[in-house]
Amino acid sequence: TSDSEGLFVVDVRAGAIRDLANNPSQKASASLGTEPNPGASTSSLPSSSNASSILGAVFGALLGIGIIVAAALYFRNKDRPKEFTVDELAAVLPSITAESLKSPTEIKRHHVHPDEHIGDGAYGTVWRALVYSSHSNEPPHQAAVKSLKDDPNQDELSMFYAEAILMSNLENQRIVSTLGVVTAGAPMYIVMEFCENGSLDKYLHEATARMTEVSVNFRSMIGASVAVGMEYLESLGIVHRDLSARNVLLDKAFVAKVCDFGLARCMAKKGSGSKNGDERQKKQEQEDDLRYYRLTHGANIPVRWTSPEALKEHLYTHASDVWSYGVLLWELWTNASTPYEGMTNEQVWMEVGNGYRLPRPDNCPEAVYENMMATWEADATRRPSFADIVGKLRKKRTSSMSALDSDMLSEALGETVTERTGLIGLSAHQINVVARKKFLRNAKDSTTTETLDRLKRLLKSQHTSYCNFISRQPIQTSVDPDGVAGYGEATVFVSHAWKYPFRLTCEVIGAYAKEISKNANASHHPGCSMSRGKGNRVVFKPYFWFDIFTVNQFEAPHYDQSFWTETFKNQVKTIGHTLLILHPWDAPIPFTRAWCVWEMVCFFFFIYFFSSAFLGSLL
């Protein structure tokens, strides 16, 4: 009970109250309060307003504590990275054994810095970003980042996780690789390799705008590269469902890579059938296992690239991807024109179902169009598989192709190619502007040796020389401002010391190129090639055999001695013109290097041999 001054009196059992000496008291009540009120009755009733206030305060305090705890748990969990379970991984990729599946690698959010918007997807935005390493001494590298929008619904979140899992388990040079994910906090990211030359359709559109011719070899290589990537997906039981030129990216070496797996799914498994079914039926079901994916929820369908059975029945197979590949080939030969231009999506749906097919593009070889038509068979079972398409390309390579065309196709198919660039040189513009400043972004004081380390990192996936790398790109990407190709048969051999600042060597090459070009004429142009440039103007241009670019630096340490004593010496002879760079002038490094002396011996040996023979003929 309580009195008007807030003194509470409670009944207790006898002996429960003890004094300061710990002696039990026989009192049956006790007072709780600051001041005792002698006039208060132990039997008086409590004040209802005070009791309500106390209960309200207690409830409010508990509610506040509950809200704080819930908020703390929410933000704690929100900032934790996603932990993918084995069941989640297996649900996305049932065709891969559980022990082979990998969870996406988590990247710390502060290591990823998006800086330029480059596209939009079904559930987010794509950015170019700088990604920093956990090692402070490593420079950041460029990446593409697909971000999930800030407030995704459950379907969008599920699609994001599925794409992250799928991409993290794909390893093929013709598929865009995934560096990791950021799932702690918002927005979430999928971090992928950055392909400098953008999407295939954008590249082809720009070529049309510039009125630039796209070579037959380039179109063939892209088509072969995409087929190899799709063959890999096919081997894993994965259907892409959105294959098109917009979903093929070109890296810095113009290698085509399949991307955008937002709609991709692993094929659903068929039921195992009746327990008492015959063995033939069970065997057929095992062979058909993982062969189809049926669309089970609403999604945007790329009608102009989609096969009739996928449009009609929402049934996606590898055969429906093959149909899309045929449309991609048509895009490739029309510089990414819109398929079925002039028709609505509804008309495309009806006309294709009634047997209409895209016409043969101008300048498209008949054999290529026959391959397109094979991918557009109405009966999906009669279409070739990607394994069939790639196998046919390999047979074509071994038939009547030239050595260069065969090498280019082999490279597109991901096979090792024997280099044929031993005598290819680069122009001074390619060395100074394209290679040093743009491609290598060379530091001011880096030596040639230090620059080689960077060059090898950039060419690691190609495992080739820079000259071989540039010679396999579309010719328009390597044309100098004068309208002449930036690479050609070497006309000047460069003898230098690897301890020189790389910038110094390149600047000397540039100055030397200006000097000998200025003094060249049609009848006498030592060290220069003569060709036609812009406006049909005659251009005298030296091409420099510069070992850091011409020699395959991945293989050079394994060359046997005969290469250097014979092949190399003969190359110096064939080139016939040497630029010897001496620095510093009062104590040139080359005179202290046995290899530089050998280069001089090679050059002077042939000068002496030529001079002796010439004098002998005069005598």
140-166 residue pLDDT tens: 889 999 999 888 888 889 889 999 999
- Residue 321 is among the residues annotated as catalytic for this protein: no
Identity at 271, one-letter amino acid code:
G
Residues 230 and 183 in one domain: no
Range of the domain at 605: 424-618
Q: Region 285-291: what's the mean pLDDT?
A: 38
Question: Residue 31: what pLDDT?
Answer: 52
At 145, is the secondary structure helix, strand, or coil?
A: strand
User: Do residues 389 and 231 make contact, with C-beta atoms less than 8 angstroms apart?
Assistant: yes
Residues 506 and 412 in one domain: no
Does residue 452 register a pLDDT over 80? Answer: yes
CATH of residue 140's domain is 3.30.200.20
Q: Region 191-207: what's the mean pLDDT?
A: 92
Report d(CA 479, CA 185) in Å as an integer. 46
Query: Tell me: the pLDDT tens digits for 200-237?
Result: 999 999 888 877 778 888 899 899 999 999 999 999 99
* pLDDT-based confidence at residue 609 (cuts at 50, 70, 90): very low
Question: Residue 617: what pLDDT?
Answer: 35
Look up residue 483 and give its two tokens. 């309208």
Among the candidates 380, 403, 418, a domain finishes at 418
Position 484 in a domain: yes
Residues 222 and 139 in one domain: no
Residues 238-258 as b/e (b if ≥16 CB within 10 A, e otherwise) read bbbbbbbbbbbbbbbbbbbbb
Nearest one of 426, 408, 463, 416 to 550, comparing CA atoms: 426
Strands, E assignment, 281-430 = 292-294, 315-317, 424-426
Query: Tell me: the pLDDT tens digits for 556-580?
Result: 888 887 777 777 777 787 888 888 8
Query: Tell me: the pLDDT tens digits for 35-78?
Result: 455 444 444 445 556 666 777 776 777 777 777 766 555 555 55
Residues 174 and 284 in one domain: no
- 511: Cβ–Cβ under 8 A, 6 or more apart, which residues? none
Among the candidates 372, 398, 418, a domain finishes at 418
Q: 579: burial class by Cβ within 10 Å (0-12, 13-18, 19+)?
A: buried
CATH of residue 311's domain is 1.10.510.10
Q: Region 98-121: what's the mean pLDDT?
A: 89
Percent of the chain with pLDDT over 70: 74
Parallel, antiparallel or unpaired: strands 492-495 and 529-532: unpaired
Among the candidates 159, 194, 229, a domain finishes at 194
Residues 310 and 232 in one domain: yes
The total number of structural domains in the chain stands at: 3
Catalytic residue among 3, 201, 242, 482: 242
Parallel, antiparallel or unpaired: strands 492-495 and 8-11: unpaired
Q: 257 - beta bridge partners?
A: 249
Report d(CA 84, CA 102) in Å as an integer. 9
Position 43 in a domain: no
Does residue 618 register a pLDDT over 50? Answer: no
DSSP class of residue 213?
A: P
In angstroms, the Cα distances linking 329 to 2, 224, 414 are 91, 10, 19
DSSP class of residue 47?
A: P
Euclidean distance between the first and the last CA atom of the chain, given in angstroms as a whole number: 140
Report d(CA 48, CA 64) in Å as an integer. 24
- Can you tell me which residue has the tokens 């071994």? 398
Residues 367 and 260 in one domain: yes
User: Do residues 420 and 405 make contact, with C-beta atoms less than 8 angstroms apart?
Assistant: no
Does residue 544 register a pLDDT over 90? Answer: yes
Q: Region 114-123: what's the mean pLDDT?
A: 81
Identity at 399, one-letter amino acid code:
S
Average pLDDT in the chain: 79
Residues 410 and 555 in one domain: no
